[in-house]
Amino acid sequence: MSAKVESDLPKIAIRTGSWWWELLFGLFALLLVPVTYLALTYPPPLPAQGQAHRIFYIHVPTAWIALYGPCVGAVAGLLYLQTRREVYDVWSLASTKLSFLFAISVVISGPIWGSTEWGTYWNWKDERLMSFFVLLMCLIGYFLARYLTEEPARAARFGALMAVLAALAAVLTWFAIRVTDPDTHPPSVLGSMSPKIRQTFWISVLAYHLLFLALLRLVVRQEWLGRWADQLESEK
Amino acid sequence: MRTCTYKNDQIGPDVQGGNRGGTNTSLVSRDDSAQNIAAGQCVSPGSLRSTRQVLFAFALLLVSAGLYGAPLEPAASLEQAQRQARQYMALPPAAAREFALGLGSAEAAALLSQVRTIARERNPDVDRLAYLIAQLESQRATELAQLRLNNLLLVILLTVGLLGAFLTYMLFAQRQALSRLAKVVPKEGPKQTAGEVYRG
């Protein structure tokens, strides 16, 4: 591994300000509004869950992103460890930040949904819930390791390692309902959805992934701006 | 024209269920004509006997079609519902519950109607119990639906709030970074090409 830390500032930070990118990513973010309306009106209510089943169109796409995000962060982290280029560290950090945001959304929507369907907010014996809890702890650990380390290069290294750990937890969570029979969390329903539910679900997945891309760009840009300001302040 | 009234046993077992038993005024005109024909009141006295027999047979065919043709399908489904109700009543409680959980609302309503009819024969007061159960289930269903709707709205509200809070934080952080940059970047700007100037 190269010990030399290369700085990608400022050339990457300043290449993000094109107006049509702003418009495109703005539209990505706004797509969530019609998709939410679609989820509220298009699929019929399920007899077993009534209107509560519409939480599905928020909970599952956000959960997927909360699982993909650490994997993106881990790949970027490994690339950082290999090359020591700052750009990979920024992508790893941005992806993990968004994973944490979406994971918070999952642990909010899941227990609220479960409260009526399972009769309890949380089940400590459920493999899926516990593996997701471990993932959440790994993400919190990432930020603790990162922000409690003063030296930036060391913080980036710790962050990369924690991102890999979080990705392993994400993979574990993904397989938890596929290789075990969780106590309360239902198994995957991907193959058994009715046409209207399936259409709405995939449109929701698309909308949340576009939102993830829009937010990722925003976070990456903000991170570069902060680092650029840090660099210029330290040079002064 | 005379008004004809048929007893249940005259109409046949297929139309005895529900309100199709007993007097059936919708069948009066066709049936009356047929009877007249059958009685020979609507044919001339000079008609041939064979013609009368043919007409009689035809009239019987019409009457049969009128009486038995249209209500066949509902009557068959009624029989089916009665048979299903008897089978349901014979199931052990666990199996009956499992069976009931798989029913749609229309099927459940039809089955309940038949089960009540059967149960009423055993206990005349079963309707009082049924009214109470119906009221309780209706109230519970309404309350559960409201609770589920509240949960859905809460999830939407919290998700929007979470994303809104994150976006607000990001915008403030960006503004702060730009403010810091404005303080440290000299007025002529850093040495860089025009295409690299940040415009975000």
What's the pLDDT tens digit per position in B73-84?
444 577 888 888
Residues of B in contact with A23 (CB under 8 A): none
CB contact under 8 Å between B184 and A232, yes or no, is yes
Chain A closest CA to B197's CA: distance in Å? 6
| Closest-approach residue (CA) in chain A for B180 | A229
Res. A127 pLDDT band, cuts 50 70 90: confident
Query: Looking at the predicted structure, is the pLDDT value of residue B39 above 70?
Result: no
Chain A closest CA to B181's CA: distance in Å? 5
Higher pLDDT among residues B38 and B111, named by residue: B111
**Chain A / chain B CB contacts < 8 angstroms:** 106
Residue-wise DSSP of A99-165: HHHHHHHHHHHHHHHHHHHTSSS--TT-HHHHHHHHHHHHHHHHHHHHHT--SHHHHHHHHHHHHHH
- A contact test, residue of B166, B167, B175, B193 with most A CBs within 10 A: B166
pLDDT of residue B101: 86
Residue type, A138: C
Residue B55 CB-density burial (10 A; 0-12 exposed, 13-18 middle, 19+ buried) = middle
pLDDT of residue A69: 93
pLDDT of residue B197: 46
Residues of B in contact with A112 (CB under 8 A): 151, 154-155, 158
CA A204 to the chain's CA centroid: 15
| Closest-approach residue (CA) in chain B for A40 | B152
CB contact under 8 Å between B162 and A16, yes or no, is no
pLDDT of residue A5: 42
CB contact under 8 Å between A112 and B155, yes or no, is yes
CB contact at 8 A, B111 and B117: no
pLDDT of residue A7: 55
Give dist(CA B154, CA B17) in Å, integer: 50
Res. B10 pLDDT band, cuts 50 70 90: very low
- In chain B, the percentage of residues whose pLDDT exceeds 90 is 11
Residue with tokens 């007993």: B22
> Does the beta carbon of B172 lie under 8 angstroms from any beta carbon of chain A?
no
pLDDT digits (tens, 9 = 90+) for A66-108: 999 999 999 999 999 999 998 899 999 999 999 999 999 999 9
Pick from A52, A222, A233: CB nearest B148: A52
Task: Report in angstroms the alpha-carbon separations of A131 from A74, A136, A138, A174.
Answer: 18, 9, 11, 9
Pick from B152, B184, B196: CB nearest A229: B184
pLDDT digits (tens, 9 = 90+) for A133-176: 999 999 999 999 999 998 889 999 999 999 999 999 999 988 87
CB contact under 8 Å between B152 and A13, yes or no, is no
pLDDT digits (tens, 9 = 90+) for B113-138: 888 888 888 888 888 888 898 899 89
Other beta carbons less than 10 A from residue B28's beta carbon: 16
> Does the beta carbon of A151 lie under 8 angstroms from any beta carbon of chain B?
no
Residues of A in contact with B198 (CB under 8 A): 10, 13-14, 16-17, 225
Predicted complex: ipTM over 0.90: no
